[in-house]
Every structure is written in C-alpha cells, then in structure tokens.
C-alpha cells in the first residue's frame, strides 16, 4: 500500500465533455475530498490536441461499418501532454473491459498515484489506442451507455471514497457490501415500529455478540438469495465455515421478536 501522507491521487480524465463532471465533483463527500486535497481531478479535452481546422476527433472505420471511431492522434497527444507520475494506470472505460468489482477499486486506490481515464464515445476507439496506450480496460457491466463519462465518474467516486480521510468512520468501509465478499446486512433506524413493521428485537437488545452473529447470518442469507454467484465464490474461498460452531446459512431470517423478509429494506 502506498504512503499518501504528502500527496493525493491524481486523476486525469480525457473527455470530450469536461462540463459533464462539474456538478458531481463538487458534491457530497467527493467534493469535500477534492477540496481537502485527498485527490485531484484534471479534465483534458482531446479536441485541444487536434491539428485540423475542424478539430475532428473521430473518423469512419476502415472496412466500413456503422458509426464513427475516436482517432488515435488526439488521444495519444492528450495523454502524452500529462506528467507521468509513477505508479500510473491508463484506463479505457469500455464494455470489453474487466468487470468492475470492489476488489478492483481497492487495488487502484491502494497502488496508484496517477490514474488516467479515457472516456470513449461513438463506436469506440481505434484499436491502436487499446494496444499501445491503454494499460487496462474496465467495464461497468454487460450493457452499453452513450458515453464514457458515467463510468469514469463511477471509478473516481469508488476510488476516492476508499482513500484515507474521505469517509469519517473507517469502520463503515469495512462493514459494507462486497468488502468481505458478501452483500451487506439489513439496517434499521428509528422509529422502532413503523406502520406495524418492527425493527428486529436483537438489534435493540444491546447484546453486541448476538447482533454481530445476526448481521453475519443475514449477510449470508441475503447473498445466497440475491447473488448466488457471490455466495458460491465466498463459500469456495471460506469453506462454508460457521461462527460459534454453526454452519453459515443455518440462521433464521430475521431476529427474535422481529421478522425480516426479502422485501424489507
């Protein structure tokens, strides 16, 4: 893990629409983190690196086909104009990339000082950008968006929130969905009864051991029911071992004095 005591993570975003980032980067915890210097975001428009009078950044694909491709020259020039701060990753957000998972965000947050993100448009980028400029491709999932700015914002948000100083309570990062390979447990706040729906009694008992066991069992059940793929990976990794002699999955849904069903928050 890198020592970030003296400088924050630098994000360089190569985007045709810099204004897309203005409001999101000024809001909430991310805006505060940037103001405190935990990270910095620089927006670079590849149009500024074109050499023709029309400032074209796209062209027709060789061999024919629908749509346009981003040209290599402006993208290479934009990235090469940046200072190279090691360790650095140059990311293209693309449906063809590595699926984004929490472990990827953790790796990027812990191991890189500079993260360059290329936002795709149209039908994609010239293959030479993938082969000779980009060091990694990342995908949000098996779907297509109109632009790469939304995935780029997702990466910035997911990485910055993991950096020291962004989130007030570090414990909250450790106890959320995916951090332990499982979905998060159900959570409740006041009032204790709302429209006849009660908060499980165990959560009001003050018994921290029982609360911890209830929460873990709920994580297991929720992951089994909603994300069997995650459950299988967790079970293979941890061998299905239980706590206090009980196999995971044996716990009852809900808690003593309060029933919890799938459609509750």
Tell me what pLDDT residue 243 has.
37
DSSP state string for the chain: ----SS--EEEEEE-S-GGGGTTGGGSHHHHHHHHTTSEEEEEE-GGGG--STT---EEPPTT--SS-EE-HHHHHHHHHTS---SSEEEEEEEEEEEEP-HHHHHHHHHH-SEEEEEE--TT-B-HHHHHHT-SEEEESSSS--S-SHHHHHHHHHHHHTTSTTTSS-HHHHHTSTTTTSSPPPP---S-SEETTEEPPGGGGS--HHHHHHHHHHHHHHHHHHH-HHHHHHHHHHHTT--BTTB-TT-SPSSBTTB---TT--
Q: Do 185 and 220 form a contact (C-beta atoms < 8 A)?
A: no
Tell me what pLDDT residue 172 has.
60
Domain range summary for the chain, segments of one domain joined by +: 9-160, 175-238
Return the closest-CA partner of residue 39 out of 124, 142, 115, 98. 115
Tell me what pLDDT residue 253 has.
39
Cα of 222 vs its chain's centroid, Å: 21
User: What parts of the chain have a pLDDT lower than 70?
Assistant: 1-7, 169-179, 239-265
Tell me what pLDDT residue 2 has.
65
Question: In degrees rounded to 5, what are phi and psi of residue 249?
Answer: 100, -10
Domain topology for 9-160: Alpha/beta knot (3.40.1280)
Return the closest-CA partner of residue 68 out of 82, 76, 58. 58
CA distance 47 to 54: 9
In sequence order, the 6+-apart residues with CB closer than 8 A to the CB of 192 are 198, 199, 204
Tell me what pLDDT residue 254 has.
40
CATH number of 175-238: 1.10.1270.20
């Amino acid at each position: 893990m890198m020592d970030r005591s003296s400088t924050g993570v630098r994000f360089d975003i190569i985007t045709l629409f810099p204004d897309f980032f203005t409001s999101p980067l000024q809001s909430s915890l991310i805006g505060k983190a940037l103001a405190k210097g935990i990270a910095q975001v620089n927006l670079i428009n590849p149009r500024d690196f074109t050499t023709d009078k029309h400032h074209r950044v796209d062209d027709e694909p060789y061999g024919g086909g629908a749509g346009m491709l981003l040209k290599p020259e402006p993208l290479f020039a934009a990235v090469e104009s940046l200072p190279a701060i090691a360790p650095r990753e140059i990311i293209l957000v693309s449906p063809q990339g590595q699926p984004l998972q929490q472990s990827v965000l953790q790796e990027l947050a812990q191991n890189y000082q500079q993260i360059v993100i290329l936002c795709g448009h149209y039908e994609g980028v010239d293959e030479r950008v993938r082969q000779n400029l980009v060091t990694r491709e990342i995908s949000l999932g098996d779907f297509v968006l109109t632009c790469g700015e939304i995935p780029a914002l997702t990466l910035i948000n997911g990485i910055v929130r993991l950096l020291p100083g962004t989130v007030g309570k570090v414990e909250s990062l450790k106890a959320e969905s995916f951090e332990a390979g499982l979905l998060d447990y159900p959570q409740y706040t006041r009032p204790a009864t709302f429209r006849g729906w009660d908060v499980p009694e165990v959560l009001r008992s003050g018994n921290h051991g029982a609360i911890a066991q209830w929460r873990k069992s709920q994580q297991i059940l929720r992951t089994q029911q909603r994300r069997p793929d995650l459950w299988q990976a967790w079970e293979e990794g941890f061998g299905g071992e239980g706590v206090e002699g009980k196999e995971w999955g044996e716990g009852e849904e809900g808690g003593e004095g309060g029933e919890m069903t799938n459609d509750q928050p």
